[in-house]
Amino acid sequence: MAEISVIKTPIEDLVIIEPRVSRDDRGYFMETYRQDVFSEAGLSMTFVQDNESMSKRGVLRGLHLQTRFSQGKLVRVISGAVFDVGVDLRKGSPTYGKYVGEILSGDNKRMLYIPEGFAHGYLVLSQEAVFAYKCTRIYHPEFDAGIIYNDPDIGINWPIDGMEIILSEKDKALPTLRQAGYAF
């Protein structure tokens, strides 16, 4: 049976997942998701949609959320590297407004599970990155929203290191958490 390691973070329910990777001189093999293995590890979410994107170095996507039909996301990088962030927006949570950031890469094969009730974003660190994620709910564009990536109250320590940040016009216009007041 496939194995995964679940690593807790300072925010309850937001976890790092390390799959078992079988490597030999031909390359590698890994299971990226198997419902029974995840359930045995205490992760009983159900996924209904898969997404994939490719972005170049310096692209920062986020921080995104849905104001209704919040999505839990199992995120990973197929190739390249990103700094991935989940921000807790759960009403009454002791870690409301706090974040966890983790480097995910095609080399380390780590995944991050970001539960429903979180904002999500990532910064591409490599020349390009292919990013894949499974969602617990279908995307509803009419409820699409977000928080500006450099919100001073959240204080995300993005590993920018002098790189030019590339944002979509939509992401440039996002409000701060204080302005939006999101809580789910």
Instruction: Tell me the average pLDDT across 14-39.
Output: 94
pLDDT band at 183 (very low <50, low <70, confident <90, very high): confident
Q: What pLDDT, on the 0 to 100 scale, is given for residue 3?
A: 87
User: Considering the chain, what is the average pLDDT of its residues?
Assistant: 96
The answer to whether residue 182 scores a pLDDT higher than 80 is yes
64 assigned to active site:
yes
60-112: per-residue pLDDT in tens? 999 999 999 999 999 999 999 999 999 999 999 999 999 999 999 999 999 99
Instruction: Tell me the average pLDDT across 111-121.
Output: 98
52-62: per-residue pLDDT in tens? 999 999 999 99
Q: What are phi and psi of 47, to 5 degrees?
A: -105, 140
Q: What are phi and psi of 107, to 5 degrees?
A: -80, -45
The answer to whether residue 11 scores a pLDDT higher than 80 is yes
133 assigned to active site:
yes
The answer to whether residue 2 scores a pLDDT higher than 70 is no
Q: What pLDDT, on the 0 to 100 scale, is given for residue 45?
A: 94
* Cα distance between residue 133 and residue 27, in whole Å: 23
Q: What pLDDT, on the 0 to 100 scale, is given for residue 184?
A: 82
Write down the catalytic residue from 64, 99, 120, 182: 64
Domain ranges of the chain: 4-175
Instruction: Tell me the average pLDDT across 6-24.
Output: 95
The answer to whether residue 1 scores a pLDDT higher than 60 is no
Q: Which CATH class is domain 4-175?
A: mainly beta
Q: What pLDDT, on the 0 to 100 scale, is given for residue 160?
A: 94
Let me know: does 147 contact 69? Beta carbons within 8 Å.
no
153-167: per-residue pLDDT in tens? 999 999 998 899 999
Our CA angle for 56, 153, 132, nearest 5°, is 30
- Nearest Cα to Cα of residue 184 among 114, 120, 117, 99: 117
Write down the catalytic residue from 33, 99, 113, 133: 133
Cis peptide before 63 (omega within 30 of 0): yes
The fraction of the chain above a pLDDT of 90, given in percent, is 95
